[in-house]
Structure 1
Amino acid sequence: MRVMLSGSALAGPWTARMMGDYGAEIIKIETPKVGDTSRSGPRHPSGIVPKWDSIDRNTMSLELNLNFEKYPDAKEVFVDLCKQCDVWVNNIPGISKHGATDALALEANPKLIICHTTGFGMPENGGDPSYLGRPCLDTVGQAFSGLAAMNGMPDGPYITANPIMNDVIAATMGVVGIMIAYYNMLKTGKGQVIDNSMYETAAYFQNYYWAIQLNGGGQYQRGGALSPTYFPFGNYQAGDGEWVAVGVFGANLWKKFVALMGKTVEEYSFDDTGVVGANPEKAAEMDKIWKAWLAEHSAEEVEKIFSENKIPCSQIIKAETAYKHPHWVARKNFITMRDHTNGTEIIDFGAAPHFNGTPIDYSKYQAAPILGEHTDVILSKVLGYSEEKIEALKQAEVVAASLVTK
């Protein structure tokens, strides 16, 4: 599958990146001499930007101006790209204003799948005109989607869920939409446009909470580190100061939990104590027992004891711990790639899920490209342009091969 990407920062590029992880050929269109904003960020001592190497890995960079009014010859390049691609992923707001329209793309290739990721949706599917076209970033999408209202301490400020969850949720649903539309194209021979809005995709992931709240359940009550519904369910500090996540849900797990606490379900039933708010007096008693037990055990001990008793539990894992953790290592979760600017080797997380029939060959993975690194090869090998034509396009500033990084 060949994917044309016009987008910056995250939601659009991450959609393409996910597809590239599993073998799609990604042609990323970048504005000449400017490039993606993600090219800047925290730097490694060697000068590279690990974030960029990860976000746009397995991607080819083509510098192309998509303003057909200012660069008329760019229209031909765009049309030819559409003819050679299966999918067009875009998250540049108002990209059609200067000529790169869906109609033009579908005329060039009626089988093309087009996925537009926006903050608030496209007018073809309705919406308040004052919202359509508004700029949107992750934190804004989380706010409008209702996701932010679910995060934070009960008496504290609403917080944004990291890492940039609305962007990656929208990107994931973009891939889902593309696969559905592509399957339909294989059956009908017709491409289509996917309206992938950030706020709706984040809202979709909260679906049963909407059902609860809008059918008599009342407004969701933030629990911070703890579940507002079940106990113990959430993040707790152990006796050594480290943290563990514990999830006790249902009568079977509850029976095991109270036994570990030296109690019985006759004394503390799940319905009375394991369900938040059912019996405050019993809940307070068990909370005291639980906290005292925690204080006597390290986080590692809690995880070991709970896991041996088949109760879901894990220590809070951070990056350096994960990199050395025997389970992560055995699953081969981390890979290495070489930066294209100076050859520095960087560590990155691999891909998920795994496929037993078509395992990934990580040796083929490439770190993110230098700006315009693949301009010539795309124009010559994919579009079949001659050296003279490529040079003429460069002279007209339609395309470029800056070969710089930021």
Structure 2
Amino acid sequence: MTHLPLDDVRVIELGQLLAGPFCGQLLGDFGAEVIKVEDPGRGDPMRQWGREKPHGQSLWWPVVARNKKSVTCDLRDPRGQDLLRRLIAEADVLLENFRPGTLERWGLSPDELHAINPGLVITRVTGFGQTGPYAPRAGYGSIGEAMGGIRHVTGDPGRPPSRAGISLGDSLATTHACVGTLVALHERGRSGRGQVVDSAIYEAVLAMMESLLPEWQQAGYQRERTGPVLPNVSPSNVYPTGDGEAILIAANQDSVFARLARVMGAEALAEDERYATHGARGANMDELDGIIAAWTAGHPADELLRLLHEGGVPAGRIYTAKDMFADPHFAAREAIVRVPHPDFGEVAMQNVAPKLSSTPGRVRTAGPALGQHNEEVYGGLLGLSPRGDHRPVHGRSHLEARNPPMRYRLGVDVGGTFTDILLIDQESGRTFRAKTPSTPHDQSIGVLAGVEKACAAAGVSPDEIGEILHGTTIATNAILEGKGERVGLVTTAGFRQVLQIARSFVPGGLAGWIIWPKPEPLAALEDTVEAVERVAADGTVVTPLDGAR
């Protein structure tokens, strides 16, 4: 197997969500070692984002965090900042998307980081850039899309501006950030010095706006929303088919339009002065679209596409994900890959683009668990001892997970409507309870909200929780209060969702549970405590509490 073209580049990624991490994804796709530094309490919020969340997990996270390593570090703690400095000394690139001034407040300004590592490329992605009057503002991709101009021209005439349906601004900013990072690395090969790559979302969007600026400056022309067509560019539209589908035809160049006219059996259209030139077709586009639509409506989609492709006319269906999985061209070029995943079995995602002939990129792993690589990075790369004077202080690294703090224990009961939380202070014996709404399709929301409420009532951080149990309220409370065994009672769906949340801020995740029905042997799950079961008359598994053997 060939080497990966960026396998000699180490990236420290501090960003979260998409503006920033997508740049890390692109670099990681081509072999860069991307070490993602996450908050030890919650991790990147992208772990919870997405509309569909099987097992309570985001389907976006395995994609945007693919090929990355995850370590935990509390950057608000001076000790965590010192740990980051150690990582920076071993890195080629630092990638972040905090609001301007955040790194500086932590004593991690570019000047301070370059004093540690003069060759460091510092890539910063923000809404408005690092300078200028708007730099301190909070900025999301949607705001950058609006300010950069693309929102104004997206959608149908007479209706409010539309969204593209994906996080376009974030992706454009991070794609430009990736280009800037590679350029800065190339220049470092000449000078030996690193520099700052400053990628603003609104400027990345503006860079894609074609001739919008000179059209206004030179001609006083303001682009507006035009729906599925481009003004004065014809034919280039969506047309109906005889079997109820719709296809795109793009035949606006003179020679291509002549081919379309031949396929339609209407060669005279290419000679008609109303349609013979690009300008003429643009001036008469509504009439021409009507002629083409009347022809396409007389043919089923498959036949229509065959005729157009054989005639050399660009045309195609408007694909959904289902269409992509079924398309032979996608399969032949391996545009979709399936990557092993500990909970999904395998997860399908888009492959690396573009394809390189000699040293192509490769998707090697899906997004990691929180802190999965703590010991590899802190112990292996930095040589820190789990017990040494300079051991990392960053919440719960795996280096310190062998003896986690046990002052607070937390019990979770996920129901279809409400989630009950019980937090117990082991030293004082005080208990704190919280009840939050929950929904079956996304129980993680209720769990996170309940944990936050209970911790707020106790005046503690989730970092101080040493153990979590999941089960019915009665059983879990009894266990936490020392009246039962270290087991809980859960449903399969609830178990999966709470397990992921527990792992986000407690070493080893849940301390114990019983699953009913069992999706797999308990022995196959990490850090489990198997216990004797008792089956009730209704077929459910109940916990063997004291006096109920």
Do the two structures share a fold, i.e. TM-score over 0.5? yes
The 1:319/1:191 distance shift into structure 2, 3 A limit, reads: same
Aligned residue type for 1:118 = T
Equivalent of 2:86 in 73, 80, 84 = 80
Residue 72 of structure 2 contacts residue 370 of structure 2 at CA under 8 Å; is this kept in 1?
yes
| Superposed displacement of residue 214, structure 1 | 2.5
Q: Deviations over 1:352-376 (max 9, x none)?
A: 11111113454xx111111111112
| Superposed displacement of residue 77, structure 1 | 1.2
Aligned residue type for 2:71 = L
The 5 Å alignment of 1:345-384 reads: 345-362=346-363, 365-384=364-383
| Superposed displacement of residue 32, structure 1 | 1.2
The 1:266/1:336 distance shift into structure 2, 3 A limit, reads: closer
Percent sequence identity over aligned pairs: 28
The CA distance in 2 between the partners of 1:234 and 1:384, in whole Å, is: 60
Q: Higher RCO, 1 or 2 (CA under 8 Å, sep at least 6)?
A: 1
Deviates more, 1:190-199 or 1:236-245: 236-245
- The DSSP-based 3-state class of the residue aligned with 2:352 is coil
Equivalent of 2:191 in 185, 188, 192 = 188
Equivalent of 2:319 in 314, 317, 340 = 317
The CA distance in 2 between the partners of 1:347 and 1:239, in whole Å, is: 33
What is the match of residue 386 of structure 1?
A: 385
Q: Are 2:397 and 1:400 equivalent residues in the alignment? A: yes
What is the match of residue 22 of structure 2?
A: 14
| Superposed displacement of residue 180, structure 1 | 0.6
Aligned residue type for 2:333 = R
Deviates more, 1:262-271 or 1:300-309: 262-271
Equivalent of 1:304 in 303, 306, 310 = 306
Q: Deviations over 1:221-263 (max 9, x none)?
A: 3220112121111322322221211111221112122333314
What is the match of residue 213 of structure 1?
A: 216
Q: Which has the higher helix share?
A: 1
TM-score (norm 2): 0.67
The CA distance in 2 between the partners of 1:225 and 1:21, in whole Å, is: 33
The 1:191/1:16 distance shift into structure 2, 3 A limit, reads: same
| Superposed displacement of residue 210, structure 1 | 2.3
Residue 8 of structure 1 contacts residue 38 of structure 1 at CA under 8 Å; is this kept in 2?
yes
Aligned residue type for 2:61 = W
Q: Are 2:337 and 1:327 equivalent residues in the alignment? A: no
What is the match of residue 27 of structure 1?
A: 35
| Superposed displacement of residue 387, structure 1 | 2.3
What is the match of residue 5 of structure 1?
A: 13
- The DSSP-based 3-state class of the residue aligned with 2:392 is helix
The 5 Å alignment of 1:38-187 reads: 38-41=46-49, 42-67=51-76, 71-93=77-99, 94-96=101-103, 97-123=105-131, 127=132, 129=133, 131-187=134-190
The 5 Å alignment of 1:264-275 reads: 264=268, 265-267=270-272, 268-271=274-277, 275=281
The CA distance in 2 between the partners of 1:319 and 1:66, in whole Å, is: 39
| Superposed displacement of residue 169, structure 1 | 0.8
Q: Deviations over 1:238-289 (max 9, x none)?
A: 222212111112211121223333141222433377532x2x4xx4543332
Deviates more, 1:153-162 or 1:235-244: 235-244
Residue 65 of structure 1 contacts residue 398 of structure 1 at CA under 8 Å; is this kept in 2?
yes
The alignment's C-alpha RMSD in Å is: 2.1
| Superposed displacement of residue 399, structure 1 | 5.7
- The DSSP-based 3-state class of the residue aligned with 1:335 is strand
Aligned residue type for 2:233 = Y
The 1:223/1:288 distance shift into structure 2, 3 A limit, reads: same
| Superposed displacement of residue 392, structure 1 | 4.6
Residue 375 of structure 1 contacts residue 399 of structure 1 at CA under 8 Å; is this kept in 2?
no
The CA distance in 1 between the partners of 2:121 and 2:271, in whole Å, is: 59
| Superposed displacement of residue 291, structure 1 | 1.6
Aligned residue type for 1:17 = Q
The CA distance in 1 between the partners of 2:362 and 2:317, in whole Å, is: 31
The CA distance in 2 between the partners of 1:346 and 1:254, in whole Å, is: 42
> Structure 1: which 5+ residue stretches go unaligned?
none
The 1:213/1:6 distance shift into structure 2, 3 A limit, reads: same
- The DSSP-based 3-state class of the residue aligned with 1:116 is strand
Q: Are 2:338 and 1:239 equivalent residues in the alignment? A: no
> Structure 2: which 5+ residue stretches go unaligned?
1-8, 402-501, 506-549
Structure of greater Rg = 2
Task: Report the count of equivalent residues.
Answer: 389
Aligned residue type for 1:216 = A
The 1:306/1:217 distance shift into structure 2, 3 A limit, reads: farther
The 1:272/1:166 distance shift into structure 2, 3 A limit, reads: closer
